[in-house]
C-alpha cells in the first residue's frame, strides 16, 4: 500500500514538473510581447518615476529588485512576493489565487519573466498593472490612474506625501486607501518615513506592514 502510494505521488510529481516545463516554454515565447503591449498601452507619464521616487518604491516593496532573479525569500519587509512576481500574477494567470498556484508563479517568474524581460521594462509594466483598490465602483489599475483617482492629479504632480500614500496602499489596497481609510494609510506612511530615514527595520521577511517601524506605545 505504501509502495503504491509512493508510486502515485511520484507520478504526480513527474506530471507536475512536465506541466511546469511546458508552461515555462510557452510563456518564454510570449512574455516579451505581453510586457511590451502593457507598456505601449500606458501613458508614458503613468509609468515613469524620478530616480528618487523609484528608490522609495523599491526600498519599501522590493529592496533587492535590481539584483534579484525575480525571487527574494530573505530580505526583511520584502514579503513573499517581489515586484516581478506581482507582474507575473497579471501576465501568467487569468485570475491568480493564493495557495497552490504560488509555486507555479515562482517558477514562471524565475524562468520565463526574469530571463526575457529587463528590469526597467518589468518595473514599468508593474507600475501599469498594480492594483490600487476601487474608486466609484471601479478597480483602479496602475499608479498613474491611482494618482488621478485618489488625489485628482497626474502622477508627476503628486506631493511627496501623496506619493507615499499610494505606496502605502500596496499590501492591502482596499483597507489602506487614503480617503475611506485615511488613518490606516497615514499610519503606514509614517512607518515608511521612519524606514526611509533609517530609524527602524522590518521585523523579518513577512513584515510588509512594517510593524517594526510602528511607534512603540
- CATH code for the domain in which residue 217 is found: 1.10.3810.10
Distance CA 217, CA 214 (A): 9
Residues 6 or more apart whose Cβ sits within 8 Å of residue 189: 161, 164, 165, 168
User: For the chain, how many structural domains are there in total?
Assistant: 2
pLDDT, tens digit, for every residue of 161-212? 999 999 999 999 999 999 999 999 999 999 999 999 999 999 998 999 999 9
Region 29-53: what's the mean pLDDT? 97
> What pLDDT does 217 receive?
59
Instruction: Let me know whether 146 and 92 are in one domain.
Output: no
Which residue has better confidence, 96 or 109?
109
Q: Convert the pLDDT of each residue in 47-92 to its tens digit.
A: 999 999 999 999 999 999 999 999 999 999 888 899 999 999 999 9
Judged against a pLDDT cut of 90, whether residue 113 lies above it is answered with yes
- pLDDT score of 8 more than 80: no
Q: Residue 151: pLDDT above 90?
A: yes
On whether both 116 and 135 belong to a single domain, the answer is no
Q: Are residues 154 and 110 in the same domain?
A: no
Give the span between the Cα atoms of 63 and 40, in whole angstroms: 27
In a domain, 215, yes or no: yes
**pLDDT at 4 > cutoff 80:** no
* Dist. CA 42–CA 127, nearest whole Å: 9
Considering only residues 1 and 191, tell me which one the structure prediction assigns the higher pLDDT. Answer: 191
- Residue 71: its pLDDT value, please? 94
Per-residue confidence (pLDDT) for residue 12, from 0 to 100: 81
pLDDT at position 101: 86
Question: Are residues 17 and 101 located together in one domain of the fold?
Answer: yes
Same domain (yes/no): 161, 100: no
Say yes or no: 125 and 139 in one domain. no
Same domain, 89 and 173: no
pLDDT reading at 42 higher than 90: yes
Residues 164/53, Cβ–Cβ less than 8 Å:
no
User: Can you give the residue range of the structural domain that contains 96?
Assistant: 1-43+69-129
**Tell me, what's the pLDDT at 56?**
97
Tell whether 209 and 136 lie within a shared domain: yes
> Is 60 domain-assigned?
no
- Whether residue 52 lies inside any domain: the answer is no
Same domain, 177 and 119: no
Domain membership flag for residue 191: yes
Same domain, 167 and 193: yes
Give yes or no: residues 103 and 155 share one domain: no
**Three-class SS state of 134:** strand
**pLDDT value for 41:** 97
Residue 124 has phi, psi (to 5 degrees) of -60, -45
170 domain residue, yes or no = yes
- Both 29 and 125 in a single domain? yes
**Cα angle, residue 100 at apex, residues 94 and 102 outer, rounded to 5°:** 65
Boundary of a domain, candidates 129, 159, 178: 129
- Which residues does 176 contact at the CB level (< 8 Å), separation at least 6? 133, 168, 169, 184, 185, 188
pTM, whole model, 2 decimals? 0.92
139, containing H or E segment: strand 138-141
Neighbours of 55 (CB within 10 A): 12
Mean per-residue pLDDT, 101-111: 94
CA–CA distance, 209 with 187 (Å, rounded to integer): 10
Amino acid at each position: 500500500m505504501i509502495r503504491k502510494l509512493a508510486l502515485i505521488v511520484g507520478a504526480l510529481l513527474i506530471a507536475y514538473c512536465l506541466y511546469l516545463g511546458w508552461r515555462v516554454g510557452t510563456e518564454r515565447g510570449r512574455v516579451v510581447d505581453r510586457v511590451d503591449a502593457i507598456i505601449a498601452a500606458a501613458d508614458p507619464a503613468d509609468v515613469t518615476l524620478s530616480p528618487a521616487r523609484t528608490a522609495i518604491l523599491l526600498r519599501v516593496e522590493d529592496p533587492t529588485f535590481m539584483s534579484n532573479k525575480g525571487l527574494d525569500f530573505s530580505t526583511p519587509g520584502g514579503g513573499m512576493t517581489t515586484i516581478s512576481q506581482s507582474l507575473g500574477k497579471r501576465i501568467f494567470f487569468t485570475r491568480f489565487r493564493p495557495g497552490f498556484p504560488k509555486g507555479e508563479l515562482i517558477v514562471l517568474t524565475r524562468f520565463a519573466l526574469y530571463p526575457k524581460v529587463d528590469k526597467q521594462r518589468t518595473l514599468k509594466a508593474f507600475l501599469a498593472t498594480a492594483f490600487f483598490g476601487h474608486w466609484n465602483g471601479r478597480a483602479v489599475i496602475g499608479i498613474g490612474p491611482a494618482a488621478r483617482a485618489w488625489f485628482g492629479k497626474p502622477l508627476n504632480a503628486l506631493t511627496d506625501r501623496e506619493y507615499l500614500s499610494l505606496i502605502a496602499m500596496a499590501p492591502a489596497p482596499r483597507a489602506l486607501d487614503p480617503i475611506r481609510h485615511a488613518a490606516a494609510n497615514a499610519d503606514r506612511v509614517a512607518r515608511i518615513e521612519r524606514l526611509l530615514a533609517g530609524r527602524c527595520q522590518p521585523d523579518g521577511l513577512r513584515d510588509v506592514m512594517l510593524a517594526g517601524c510602528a511607534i512603540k506605545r
